Structure 1
Amino acid sequence: MTLSTPASRSLLETARSVRSAASDLSTLPIESRNQALDRIAQALEASADAILAANAADLKAATPLVESGEMSRALYGRLKLDPGKLAGMIAGVRDVTKLADPIGQVQIHRELDTGLVLKRLTVPLGVVGVIFEARPDAVTQIAALAIKSGNGLLLKGGKEAVRSCEAIVQVIHQALAESQVPAAAVQLLTTREEIQTLLSLDQYVDLIIPRGSNAFVRYIQNNTHIPVLGHAEGLCHLYIDAQANVQQAVEITVDAKVQYPAACNAIETLLVHRGIAPAFLAPAVAALQAQNVEVRGCEQSRALVPTLLPATEADWATEYSDLILAVKVVDSLDEAMEHINTYGSRHTEAIVTEDSTAAQTFLARIDAAGVFHNCSTRFADGFRYGFGAEVGISTQKLPPRGPVGLEGLVTYRYQLIGQGHTVAPYTGGTPRPFTHRDLPLE
């Protein structure tokens, strides 16, 4: 793509400035980066009313879209900020400051020969582009991780959250102006047209992280030469085994569906072993329906609980992101695992059982970034894992996988220091041997 329009040329200049700022940021000591994060947290607290007012304007503009069906209730839920969510955003920034410095970690320290020493050191990626819908709280999570890891950042939020994102980035810039971190290191894009230009900036952007549907992630992957870390949809399952504790299983089911149904780690399908279905389904469905969940079931589950709506084949492949849950009775653990590996999105899957053999089989054979036993899928989150925050959840097999924190924003380089060493003495008929002696990591 040629950068010929004024908008594309402007974005090119922005990308250049971010790259320059990232170069400066990457050499700052950890104390300076942490100080910048502290200032951001303080500024967010001081600007809470302005941020919530901007979000209220976004919500007001989105309300007619929800009423007309143009915007889902799930997307509206992700868009909404309230004092509690804002407080969580600020806490997340402060949690990132407590994490170890991800830059300059020595992974290999090895003497190749006397006076010839090799190190492998962690370094920032450079410039990261993140494209996401709604979720204004993602701005602070991603910015905090980028600053801590020494990376420049190009953010593109959804148009439905533009006022909220602009207000938050403005606060971040004000805070960075009082720190050693260049404010230019964090930039917000606001138009859909900028996405295409961003995807062409392989000279300036080192990684793209799209957060959205599978179709959206595939579109990004197919339209850029920049490496893409896909944060795709979460079609998560909970399997209630024959040996489950019924009360525990009901509580986990309700939490995994109801606690935040718009999240990608909420369950969409509940699989129930036929041996426990008569004891489990009635109280589980009652608890779900008490929380306004629409429960759809297969024929076997509807025979046990006639109030269930009929489920179709499409339900097994649908991420509702809403108060809707599909239920299927299965004959065995093997059938449950086959269903999950067929329909799952490799995000997070869970089993409830007191049978340790069944649990270990499930944990070993389910192909997902997160596989849980006797706990809610809602724990699949960077903050809850102790990462401080996350830039997304990767459902790819290559690392980073699952919630992506600081480790996903650094790479490494090899540093070799010698004393006039050349390769020639180590070749030929009587080559000088290498010592290959591992030294203490610093």
Structure 2
Amino acid sequence: MSLTNASPADAAKSAKSASHLLATLPTSARNNALTAIHAALSQSKDEILAANAQDLALAGKAAENGELSLSIVSRLDLGKKGKWEDMLKGILDVRDLDDPVGKVTLRTRLDDGLDLERVSCPIGVLLIIFEARPEVIANIASLAIKSGNAAILKGGKESTESFIAISKVISAALESTEVPNNAIQLVTTRDVIPQLLDLDQYIDLVIPRGSNELVRYIKSSTKIPVLGHADGLCSIYLEHSVSQEVAVRVIVDSKTSYPAACNSVETLLVEEAALEKLLPPVAQALLENGVSLRCDASSKTALTAKLPAHSSAILQDAEATDFDTEHLSLVLAIKTVSSLTEAVSHINTHGSHHTDVILTSSAPLAEQFMSSVDSAGVFWNASTRMADGMRYGFGTEVGISTNKIHARGPVGLEGLMIYKYKVRGAGHITMEYGEGEGQKPFKHEKLAL
């Protein structure tokens, strides 16, 4: 990894050249690089966290002045419980995955002596633009190197010290490996995002990691394909047959384990039949965990009748905008629905196609929900927070995609691969084949992989 203040065009050009070399390195060379990165970061924990503390101090002041959201400050904290350990574990998890490069996914005999193969290969050069989240550097570097892709990273100013500290460590580690330093670059020059987004001749894919404003800006400002999601408007449908224990566990975890995450639940859809029995204990548990509840009329009436007076007094009235808002905080909107059909309709209309959950004891209802909801992740009796590359066994992820093409959901190694077709012949030409006199048909014989 190199820290560069080169012009955007020069950085992209050198990344393109490095990608060609990286794509041809053997598995062992790419794995050795990840081992070196892991060891170097482990040894440099104190200095990296010290740099992160500088960023946090400045970000905290900016948040006090209203210049930065609290959700960004939360995402910035590399010392948050488990984040550093997860970052390091993700590097080794990626290293130990099967090599995604050069996998044959189709083999066909077109004719005697004429064979077709479809083989996985890297996309090329990735541009990752991100806010906060200093662990992104290690995640992206690991996935890019393992998948044979070069990467250009541009971080937000709120994480500058963290980015620089991590980048220096990774750069030094790569010096002892076969992976070229220019394969992973952190651009330090300010205000270069528009220029980078114009470089479609060198950059093959843009991956934004940040606010919906950032993602929307990038999608509207480049001809380069963009992989990502703007919002994490996740919903849970609470159906009356689920057990109270499951309902409380899943909903509390979905909202409180990391409220600033894109896979945190934002809307709770409650079946009318669940209002009196299930919603009150769920609401009580949420309130005890500091969650503000914004209720529609039916849910507020049910809770006011069942909760202690001091609890029901702090319930808030939901506004229409609450069901279209990614709060990224300890705020949950509650809406009453009559049926699964109404719940699905609400999710498909108001959700962001990220991750949505049904809580029920009915397998047929669960399967209907998961088939009907148009989201990258559809879960039955499991927390929305399970939507994560590491938890899926992908090692780590470059982000979560709500795209309808290529990769969808948590994007790991497989989502960073495309393919090429290889044909091996012996002087075969198209004029030999057809329906005319003297021509012959193709065999199209499927061969074992």
Bin the TM-score by the shorter chain.
over 0.9
Per-residue CA deviation, residues 14-40 of structure 1 (Å, 9 max, x unaligned), is 111111111111100001100100110
Task: Give distance in 2, aligned partners of 1:221 and 1:375.
Answer: 31
Partner residue of 1:181 out of 174, 179, 182: 179
1:329 Cα offset (Å): 1.7
Partner residue of 2:320 out of 313, 330, 346: 313
Partner residue, 2:368: 361
Per-residue CA deviation, residues 230-260 of structure 1 (Å, 9 max, x unaligned), is 3321000011102111121011110000011
1:201 Cα offset (Å): 0.7
Task: Give distance in 1, aligned partners of 2:244 and 2:345.
Answer: 23
Unaligned stretches of 5+ in structure 2?
305-311
Pick closer, same or farther for the CA change 1:84–1:8 going to 2, 3 Å: closer
Per-residue CA deviation, residues 43-88 of structure 1 (Å, 9 max, x unaligned), is 0100101110110000011111111222121111100011731111
The amino acid of 1:410's aligned partner reads M
Q: Give the 5 Å matches for 1:373-384.
A: 373-384=380-391
1:61 is aligned to 2:58: yes
Where 2:273 maps in the other structure, the secondary structure is coil
Partner residue, 2:125: 127
Give the conservation status (yes or no) of the 8 Å contact 2:6–2:189.
no
Where 2:192 maps in the other structure, the secondary structure is helix
Partner residue, 1:89: 87
Give the conservation status (yes or no) of the 8 Å contact 1:106–1:120.
yes
Per-residue CA deviation, residues 110-167 of structure 1 (Å, 9 max, x unaligned), is 1111111111111111100011111111111111000000010001111111111111
The amino acid of 1:109's aligned partner reads R
Per-residue CA deviation, residues 272-329 of structure 1 (Å, 9 max, x unaligned), is 1111111122211211111111111111111122321111001000001111111112
Unaligned stretches of 5+ in structure 1?
1-6
Partner residue, 1:341: 348
Task: Give distance in 2, aligned partners of 1:425 and 1:197.
Answer: 49
Partner residue, 2:45: 48
Partner residue of 1:388 out of 392, 395, 402: 395
Task: Give distance in 2, aligned partners of 1:247 and 1:279.
Answer: 12
Partner residue of 1:434 out of 434, 438, 442: 442
Q: Give the 5 Å matches for 1:234-273.
A: 234-273=232-271
Query: After TM superposition, which residue ranges in structure 1, 4 or more long, deviate above 6 angstroms?
Result: none
Q: Which moved more, 1:40-49 or 1:397-406?
A: 397-406
The amino acid of 1:379's aligned partner reads M
Where 2:46 maps in the other structure, the secondary structure is helix
1:216 is aligned to 2:234: no
1:203 Cα offset (Å): 1.0
Partner residue, 2:134: 136
Where 1:45 maps in the other structure, the secondary structure is helix
Per-residue CA deviation, residues 361-406 of structure 1 (Å, 9 max, x unaligned), is 1111111000000110100000000000111100112231000111
Give the conservation status (yes or no) of the 8 Å contact 2:232–2:262.
yes
Q: Percent of aligned pairs with the same residue?
A: 49
Q: Give the 5 Å matches for 1:18-29.
A: 18-29=15-26
Pick closer, same or farther for the CA change 1:218–1:268 going to 2, 3 Å: same
Q: Which moved more, 1:283-292 or 1:340-349?
A: 283-292
The amino acid of 1:358's aligned partner reads L
Q: TM-score scaled by structure 1?
A: 0.96
Pick closer, same or farther for the CA change 1:225–1:8 going to 2, 3 Å: farther
Partner residue, 1:104: 102
Partner residue, 1:3: none
The amino acid of 1:124's aligned partner reads P
The amino acid of 1:219's aligned partner reads Y
Partner residue, 1:201: 199
Partner residue of 1:170 out of 168, 171, 181: 168
Task: Give distance in 2, aligned partners of 1:9 and 1:399.
Answer: 31
Where 1:275 maps in the other structure, the secondary structure is helix
Task: Give distance in 1, aligned partners of 2:423 and 2:183.
Answer: 30
Task: Give distance in 2, aligned partners of 1:84 and 1:237.
Answer: 25
Where 1:305 maps in the other structure, the secondary structure is helix
Where 2:277 maps in the other structure, the secondary structure is helix
Task: Give distance in 2, aligned partners of 1:333 and 1:295.
Answer: 22
Give the conservation status (yes or no) of the 8 Å contact 1:8–1:194.
no
Aligned residues: 435
1:33 is aligned to 2:40: no
Give the conservation status (yes or no) of the 8 Å contact 2:240–2:278.
no
The amino acid of 1:364's aligned partner reads S
Give the conservation status (yes or no) of the 8 Å contact 2:5–2:187.
no
Give the conservation status (yes or no) of the 8 Å contact 1:212–1:233.
no
Q: Which moved more, 1:242-251 or 1:263-272?
A: 242-251
Where 1:203 maps in the other structure, the secondary structure is coil
Q: Give the 5 Å matches for 1:388-407.
A: 388-407=395-414
Task: Give distance in 2, aligned partners of 1:265 and 1:399.
Answer: 21
Pick closer, same or farther for the CA change 1:290–1:191 going to 2, 3 Å: farther
1:418 is aligned to 2:415: no
Task: Give distance in 2, aligned partners of 1:74 and 1:276.
Answer: 32
1:91 Cα offset (Å): 0.3
1:229 Cα offset (Å): 1.1
Partner residue, 1:12: 9
